[in-house]
């Protein structure tokens, strides 16, 4: 008697299972942290919205980056920051306005996926106003310009669309204002301090040190996930690497500022914590928006906002610590 044929399932085979591709378990190989097949995104009716994007036959770095592109773009960005700081502080202010404005635009495009429409004109005008006034007029101007921007966003949304949609767009606009230009305003306050260029350079290098130390330690030693439900590739070992490199940079920066060594240690501990918090917060937002990256402008990094997420949350803490421990003369 002929063998009974297996009954075929009526459910279509996901794209990442076709062409003989299997999971790490099928191949008998252990799956490192963050490399497991992601769960499909399921709507309320139980129907998958889309197959997860997986390419098991392609050599993908464990940390998920195009490393040559990431290094090249990172070096160019650091060179641009260094050139603007060395030449004239106003050039750095202009560079920051362009960067934060680009991040606002990326966030507006991302929010459209959930039918949320940010009022771009008042947000972009407010971004320029917050950053410029913070540099020239200090913390009081930062607060006043922030409140004016919030007021402009709310009024714009109320006139543009009434009802629940207008309230939702206004709330999103206030969130965008507080997250992007308001947090970036603390970098302008750093720049306006005595030795401002050195303080901003130290702030940027702390974020770079945290990212670099976390990347290297995570790739070489990462075994225990830090927040598996939010960012599976982040590991506790990577965070430890961030602390080591950031403390070294903080100690060097404290010496350059003629500050006590404890200031450098405090900066080296604080920066990885806030940078990781900012990165995880953006990861939560991208999960809710069903996005891998906020944009594609920076190869190997994603969008502008993917580079600013850790810097933005870190800025107010570094400003307050340096303003308290190393007051300007």
150-198: per-residue pLDDT in tens?
A: 999 999 999 988 889 999 999 999 999 999 999 999 999 999 999 999 9
Q: Which residue has the higher pLDDT, 274 or 298?
A: 274
Residue with tokens 């190869």: 299
Q: pLDDT at position 303, please?
A: 83
Lowest mean pLDDT among 68-72, 234-238, 288-292: 68-72
Average pLDDT of span 113-139: 95
Strand ranges in 22-137 using DSSP code E only, listed in sequence order: 41-42, 48-50
Q: pLDDT at position 302, please?
A: 75
Nearest to 298 by CA among 106, 94, 95, 61: 106
Percent of residues, the chain, with pLDDT higher than 70: 79
Sequence-ordered list of residues with C-beta below 8 angstroms from that of 143, at least 6 positions apart, any chain: none
Q: Which residue has the higher pLDDT, 62 or 188?
A: 188
Residue with tokens 């602390």: 243
Q: What is the pTM of this model?
A: 0.77
Asked if pLDDT for residue 23 goes beyond 90, the answer is no
Q: pLDDT at position 320, please?
A: 95
Asked if pLDDT for residue 31 goes beyond 50, the answer is no
Mean pLDDT of the chain: 82
Percent of residues, the chain, with pLDDT higher than 90: 55
Bridge partners (DSSP) of residue 148 are none
């Amino acid at each position: 008697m002929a063998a009974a044929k297996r009954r075929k399932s009526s459910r279509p085979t996901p794209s990442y299972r076709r062409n003989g591709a299997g999971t790490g378990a099928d191949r008998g190989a252990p799956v490192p942290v963050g490399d497991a097949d992601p769960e499909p995104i399921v709507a309320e009716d139980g129907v998958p919205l889309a197959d997860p994007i997986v390419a098991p036959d392609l050599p993908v770095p464990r940390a998920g980056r195009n490393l040559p592109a990431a290094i090249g773009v990172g070096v160019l960005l650091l060179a641009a920051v260094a050139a603007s700081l060395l030449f004239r502080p106003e050039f750095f202010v202009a560079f920051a306005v362009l960067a934060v404005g680009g991040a606002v635009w990326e966030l507006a495009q991302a929010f459209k996926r959930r039918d949320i429409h940010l009022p771009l004109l008042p947000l972009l005008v407010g971004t320029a106003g917050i950053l410029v006034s913070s540099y020239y007029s200090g913390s009081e101007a930062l607060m006043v310009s922030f409140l004016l921007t919030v007021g402009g966003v709310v009024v714009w949304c109320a006139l543009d669309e009434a009802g629940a949609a207008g309230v939702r767009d206004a709330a999103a606009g206030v969130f965008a204002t507080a997250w992007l230009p308001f947090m970036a305003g603390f970098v302008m306050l750093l720049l306006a301090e005595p030795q401002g260029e050195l303080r901003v350079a130290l702030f940027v290098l702390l974020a770079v040190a945290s990212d670099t130390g976390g990347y290297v330690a995570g790739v070489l030693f990462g075994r225990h996930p830090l927040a598996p439900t939010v960012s599976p590739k982040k590991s506790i070992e990577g965070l430890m690497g961030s602390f080591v490199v950031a403390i070294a940079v903080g100690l060097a920066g404290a010496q350059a500022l003629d500050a006590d060594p404890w200031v450098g240690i405090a900066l080296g501990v604080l920066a990885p914590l806030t940078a990781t918090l900012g990165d995880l917060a953006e990861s939560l937002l991208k999960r809710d928006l069903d996005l891998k990256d906020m944009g594609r402008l920076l190869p190997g990094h994603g969008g502008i906002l993917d580079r600013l997420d850790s810097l933005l949350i870190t800025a107010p803490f570094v400003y307050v610590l340096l303003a308290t421990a190393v007051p300007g003369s």
